[in-house]
Amino acid sequence: MKNSIKKVIIDSDMGWDDVLSICYLLKNPSIQIVGIMVTGCGETNLRWGSIIAKTLMELVEKTEVKVCIGAKNPTKFEHKFPQSFKDDMNDIMGLLGSLNPKKTIEFDKREAWDFLYDILEESSEKVTILSLGGFTNIAKMLEKHPKAKIENIEQIYAMAGAVFVDGNVALLNNAQEQWNQGDIYSTNYSAEWNIFIDPLAAKKVFASTIPLTLIPLDACNYVVLNADYIDTITATDPIAIIVRNIFLKKTGDYDEGIPVPIFDPLATMIMAGDLKNYQFHKEYLDVNIEDTKINNHCGKTYIVPKGSRKIKIVQGVSQLEFSKQFAKIINKGLV
């Protein structure tokens, strides 16, 4: 009989939506989290993102889950979120200090890409990778370990890209004065942040033969965060409380002033097989890796006529189905 439990490695920059995703998986009986690879190339600085990941596992006493520290910087370029934005995410908008686990765990001594290589070498079952913060750690594994058993990767599911819609780099940059980082950001209307943060890493993963499902802004734009989500969370365990408080923060004091999709939890739900009705198609994709100060398209994902394998691109999704399923799982007891 086929094992119905999906073994998952999460590759994350530990932003607010990453935390929601991990909380969702901690409540999901069909998922086994094998490890969390943290990247500092994203919404948190590496030190704090690693602490957030470790604290979440400690809170629910998942001492068997390996938490691995990954890349501090992208493989190329110096693209980064505004530091004031990262400062807010570094303590989950002030919520980190309220999490006081009874048990503590140590970080895995391996760097994230070496951990991933070892898992692929040793695993008797295929593993799934959930990519929520850029592709730097995965690309470094492919570069450092060219003979890695990538056939042991069932699939990568990634919240990344903008194929037929505008990106969100300029949108964030231009939303608040303190987030303005200059022309490279302010004129980039085509790239999505998880690709833009390390476009060369994304290009390498796109060129690989690993099966890849992309949940881009084309899909995420259908599932926009609003205050209605708060009252759907009725459970009172620590994980449900974290989720409810994140919703309160992101629709309150930490509202970005622009429409904010619930990015990573959508990709997480699709990976878990919990969202049944959505549109998708398959295309060969590539990534622009040229920075310009005017009309910048670095990080743009675009269709090409051929490649190593077609990438599954999720498009239309139901916000209603998402919100009902998300609340259903979060309101369950802890696994």
* Residue 186 parent element (H or E): helix 183-186
* Each residue's pLDDT tens digit, 15-44: 999 999 999 999 999 999 999 999 999 999
pLDDT at 193: 98
φ, ψ of residue 212 to 5 degrees: the values are -135, 125
Q: Is domain 6-330 annotated with CATH 3.20.20.70?
A: no
With 0-12 / 13-18 / 19 or more C-beta atoms within 10 angstroms meaning exposed / middle / buried, residue 302 is middle
* Residue 83 parent element (H or E): helix 83-90
pLDDT at 3: 55
Rg of the chain in Å (alpha carbons)? 18
* Each residue's pLDDT tens digit, 189-209: 999 999 999 999 999 999 999
Domain regions of the chain by residue span: 6-330
What global pTM score does this model have? 0.97
Count of helix runs (H) and strand runs (E) in the chain: 13, 9
At residue 270, the 3 state secondary structure works out as: helix
| Pairing state between β 278-287 and 301-304 | antiparallel
Q: Which of 255, 258, 307 is nearest to 286 (CA)?
A: 307
pLDDT at 1: 35
Positions of the chain with pLDDT lower than 70, given as ranges: 1-3
pLDDT at 257: 86
All residues at 6 or more sequence positions from 188 whose CB lies less than 8 Å from its CB, including other chains: 167, 169, 170, 173, 196, 296, 297, 298, 299
